[in-house]
Amino acid sequence: MGIVFAKTPKGQDEVATRSGSLSPRVRRVLIFVDGKRTVDDLRGMLQSDDLQHTLGMLEEEGYIEFFDISGTPPAVPAGQTALPSITAFGELPAAPDPLRLQQARNFMVNTLNAFVGPLGMTSLLDRLEVANSHADLRSLYDEWYHAMVMSRDGKREAEGLRAKLLQVI
């Protein structure tokens, strides 16, 4: 079974009228979302290194919604009102967890140093070092991910690294 997204009325309106503020690249992904193509199909058609992130952003902003391969909304587990976003962070721990916080910080710093290099990333690295909560690190997530996909080496590994980071952040 594959993951399929379909346009919401907001997404259909965006394609028809260009009413939103989507970049041409993000709009192109939205156009290809049709309720039939799986994410793997889209990945094969589009040359987008950050497809997972783009789909997550479109979903969170209400342009697309999650469908299963049959094109019908998936069943929502009992006790939930909706399925979680594919890029959603996990629930914040009730009490601060210094170990997970340090793991997430180390992961972000180490991946930036390994795949991007410290030059040009000094500001982000400094802000990561002084982040003292999961919320602080989460506010730096988009900038971290963008730096990863913009680097030659990082873009090949970005989706796998993103998934690993979301487990601890």
Closest by CA to 120, choosing from 141, 84, 146, is: 146
3-class state of residue 6 by DSSP: strand
- On whether the CB atoms of residues 33 and 5 are closer than 8 A, the answer is yes
Confidence grade of residue 71 (pLDDT, cut at 50, 70, 90): very low
AA identity, residue 8: T
Angle, vertex CA 68, rays to CA 149 and CA 159, nearest 5: 15
| pLDDT for 93 beyond 80 | no
DSSP lists the bridge partners of residue 68 as 3
3-class state of residue 5 by DSSP: strand
Cα–Cα dist 114/116, whole Å: 6
| Average pLDDT of the segment spanning 137-145 | 86
pTM: 0.53
pLDDT value of position 153: 78
| pLDDT for 57 beyond 80 | yes
pLDDT value of position 107: 94
| pLDDT for 165 beyond 90 | no
Average pLDDT value for the chain = 80
Q: 117 in the Ramachandran plot: left (φ > 0), alpha (ψ -120 to 50) or beta?
A: left
Confidence grade of residue 1 (pLDDT, cut at 50, 70, 90): very low
pLDDT value of position 4: 85
Structural domain spans, the chain: 3-68, 98-168
